[in-house]
């Protein structure tokens, strides 16, 4: 069944059935001019607003992607932004632009995937919009909240702080290599883990809440463009420099295997691969042990110290395996520029 | 200057300069993982969430539209949805997907237009997102608020209520006729007024607030698809029927002139033209005079009684100039169906 067969209102009815039961805080979900939600009752709570888009042909291919995974991915990208503020995600709006011959089941799968990521966090889809377009565009808007004393910004890193990351780096890039057919001969469970990391990354919402509640974190960002690029954003906002220690970067065994199988450099994947959606944050050295224990106990996710904050005049450095400093090149993709930001040409 | 010349971060910097100074309620605007805004302080305030998209080739043409007007239009479409709930708009996020050769000045004009509509209402742009796409897509998200006792839903219309609209109907459709070259020989000021109505309609936010504060309104919706279609949505949500009185529909002189010049039926424009972004609401007959005075004094906008609410079994009726009832056909455009919803074929 295609979108043109059910029409705009038929489609909205069908999608409304995928968003599930609303809690008591949702006064009106889909079906009126706007969604209506109860405001957080605690005085002085901050609201967090973010949006992120996935475009067919740029971020995904309709022919090859599983719609449920695409929905999970769209959820995760937005949830990760709220996680990076130390916040709690609350309400999604989903704006869809699509060709009229889009399969309705594809869109329903998308909603199911979004719910799979959102519901366990208490986050609900409360509205959205559908319109026509030559290609499929998915734009999600997420409203979250945070206590003012738990808000974690990109600014705030102090000279001497350690730089930490959650989880592991480069796995999403390894999954991309598999999709491109660059890494062959890997075991099925290795392939599946890496494809999942790329196609349906998991936002570190609980880890972000744990870090925010533990105090001691001075600045935080999520890793969408790659560690080298994103830690650069954090340093710029904090007006500091950084030294990343190449040998400490957490790369898991599956990613190492894929890098070897494809003749790629796993360090480059960990630094520049992007789309890992791990959290990167800074904290004084004396807080590292306490934070690591708190996050591990609350979520099961390990933290790794990957560098140190320097005075701003030292810039952005990468200490290689030989111990020597090199410039840390932000090779993350600039979505709109003529070429990659770090292209040396 | 094109987007590819300044890159993603250069573009974000430039656009951030167009969003203006934030008030004290905006803790973080553009530049971190999410925008951070202070939650409304009054206990029990409801938050209103809405989004609406404008797609190049579907809703506008880059070659012919003034970007400032396009920004104003994008603002108005979303502001109108919050107005239709009786709410106060607060924060915009703007999500842009664009070709790399998009003129930066076009995007800056877009932001300027959005601000022109938003700022006088105390509404701010606090964030957004940019990405690549073959065509330009503008997706705006708007967060508003409303006191629970002032919330106006589509449901709530009672048998015997009068149906009212703000302002005038059909002017946007008349402006479209001018753009299509269907109505020639009109005076410059007539042309300009109708083009403005189509290209940059004004949301009835103050009117909506006045109606919400005056009490007595039982249901409300904004007119995006056309009166016939939208009053049908209101009746469906309220489980009632309606009789619209054709002779009462407020059509201004400029629209009448354009209808005559193009050989079109001004009644059809008023019923089905769409995109007027007036408010349509219901109220008991005894409240009509008080509401009309309150809105006129607060905003200068006239209200017109255009029909009456009937029991549901009477359905949706249009009383013609001869006094006879005919079915009220919802001929609003279904954006996704194979053909227009009311196509009788």
Is pLDDT of A13 > 80? no
pLDDT of residue B1: 81
Of all residues in chain A, the percent with pLDDT exceeding 90 is 60
A203 touching B (Cβ < 8 Å): no
Whole-number Cα distances in Å, A342 to A275, B215, B239 = 17, 60, 61
> Is B51 in contact with A127 (Cβ distance < 8 A)?
yes
What average pLDDT does the segment B123-146 reach? 87
B290 touching A (Cβ < 8 Å): no
Whole-number Cα distances in Å, A223 to A32, A167, A233 = 36, 11, 10
Is pLDDT of A27 > 90? no
Chains A & B: contacts with CB separation below 8 Å: 255
Of B33, B139, B221, nearest to A139 by CB-CB distance is B139
ipTM of predicted assembly, 2 dp: 0.83
A15 touching B (Cβ < 8 Å): no
- Token code pair at residue A35: 């969604």
Whole-number Cα distances in Å, B308 to A334, B257, B282, B315 = 57, 28, 8, 12
Per the model's pLDDT, the better-predicted residue between B34 and A202 turns out to be: A202
**What is the C-alpha separation between B59 and A105, in angstroms, rounded?**
26
Residues of chain B positioned with their CB less than 8 A from the CB of A148: 27
B39 touching A (Cβ < 8 Å): yes
Q: On the CB side of A242, how many CA atoms lie within 13 Å of its CA?
A: 33
Longest dimension (CA), chain A: 63
- Token code pair at residue B65: 């539209």
Least CA distance to B277: which residue of chain A? A33
> Is B47 in contact with A33 (Cβ distance < 8 A)?
no
Residue A89 DSSP class = E
Of A4, A52, A55, nearest to B133 by CB-CB distance is A55
> Do residues B308 and B325 lie in contact, with contact meaning Cβ atoms separated by under 8 Å?
no
Residues of chain A positioned with their CB less than 8 A from the CB of B95: 51-53, 95, 139, 141
Residues of chain B positioned with their CB less than 8 A from the CB of A76: none
- Token code pair at residue B194: 């109708």
Instruction: State the average pLDDT for chain A.
Output: 88
Residues of chain B positioned with their CB less than 8 A from the CB of A127: 49-51
Q: Which of B183-192, B308-317, B326-335 has the lowest mean pLDDT?
A: B326-335
Is pLDDT of A338 > 60? no
Q: Which of A77-81, A112-116, A327-331, B272-276 has the lowest mean pLDDT?
A: A327-331
> Do residues A341 and B7 lie in contact, with contact meaning Cβ atoms separated by under 8 Å?
yes
Q: Which of B152, B282, B330 is nearest to A9 (CA)?
A: B330
- Token code pair at residue B25: 């309620």
- Token code pair at residue B1: 């200057």
Is pLDDT of B343 > 60? no
**What is the C-alpha separation between A316 and B78, in angstroms, rounded?**
42
Of B31, B85, B137, nearest to A34 by CB-CB distance is B85
Count CB-CB contacts under 10 A for residue B39.
21
Query: What does the pLDDT look like over B160-219, one tens digit per residue?
Result: 999 999 999 999 999 999 999 998 889 999 999 999 999 989 999 999 999 999 989 999
- If DSSP codes are grouped into helix, strand and coil, which group holds residue B104? helix
> Mutate which of B13, B15, B25, B32 to test chain A, going by most A C-beta atoms within 10 A?
B32
> Is A129 in contact with B52 (Cβ distance < 8 A)?
yes
Element containing residue B289 per DSSP (H, E): helix B288-299
> Do residues A267 and A319 lie in contact, with contact meaning Cβ atoms separated by under 8 Å?
no
**What is the C-alpha separation between B51 and B212, in angstroms, rounded?**
22
Is pLDDT of B335 > 60? no
Whole-number Cα distances in Å, B139 to A16, A51, A60, A94 = 20, 10, 19, 11
Is pLDDT of A344 > 70? no
Q: How confident is the model at residue A310 (pLDDT cuts 50, 70, 90)?
A: very high
Of A39, A48, A51, nearest to B145 by CB-CB distance is A39
> Do residues A70 and A102 lie in contact, with contact meaning Cβ atoms separated by under 8 Å?
no
Is pLDDT of A334 > 60? no
> Do residues A113 and A85 lie in contact, with contact meaning Cβ atoms separated by under 8 Å?
no
Rg (CA), chain B: 21
Is pLDDT of A339 > 60? no
Phi-psi region of B181 (alpha: psi -120 to 50; beta: other; left: phi over 0): left
pLDDT of residue B339: 45
């Amino acid at each position: 069944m295609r979108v043109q067969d059910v029409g705009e209102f038929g489609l909205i009815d069908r999608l409304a059935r995928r968003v599930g039961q609303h809690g008591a805080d949702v006064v009106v979900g889909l079906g009126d001019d706007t969604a209506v939600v109860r405001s957080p009752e605690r005085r002085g709570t901050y609201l967090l607003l973010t949006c992120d888009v996935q475009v067919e042909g740029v971020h995904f291919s309709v022919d090859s992607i599983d719609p449920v995974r695409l929905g999970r991915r769209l959820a995760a990208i937005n949830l990760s932004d709220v996680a990076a503020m130390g916040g709690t995600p609350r309400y999604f709006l989903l704006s869809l632009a699509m060709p009229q011959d889009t399969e309705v089941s594809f869109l329903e799968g998308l909603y199911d995937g979004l719910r799979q990521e959102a519901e366990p966090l208490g986050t609900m889809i409360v509205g959205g919009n559908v319109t026509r377009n030559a290609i499929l565009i998915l734009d999600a808007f997420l409203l979250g909240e945070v206590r003012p004393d738990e808000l974690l910004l990109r600014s705030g890193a102090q000279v001497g702080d350690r730089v930490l990351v959650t989880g592991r780096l480069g796995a999403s890039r390894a999954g991309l290599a598999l999709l491109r057919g660059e890494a062959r001969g890997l075991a099925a469970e290795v392939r599946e883990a890496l494809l999942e990391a790329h196609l349906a990354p998991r936002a570190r919402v609980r880890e972000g809440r744990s870090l925010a509640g533990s105090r001691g974190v001075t600045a935080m960002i999520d890793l969408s463009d790659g560690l080298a690029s994103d830690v650069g954003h954090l340093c710029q906002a904090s007006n500091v420099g950084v030294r990343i220690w190449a040998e400490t970067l957490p790369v898991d065994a599956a990613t190492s295997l894929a890098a070897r199988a494809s003749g790629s450099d796993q360090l480059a994947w960990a630094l520049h691969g992007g789309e890992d959606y791990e959290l990167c944050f800074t904290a004084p050295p004396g807080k590292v042990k306490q934070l690591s224990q708190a996050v591990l106990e609350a979520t099961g996710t390990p933290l790794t110290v990957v560098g140190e904050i320097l005075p701003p005049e030292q810039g952005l450095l990468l200490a290689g395996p030989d111990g020597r400093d090199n410039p840390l090149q932000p090779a993350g993709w600039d979505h709109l520029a003529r070429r990659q930001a770090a292209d040396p040409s």
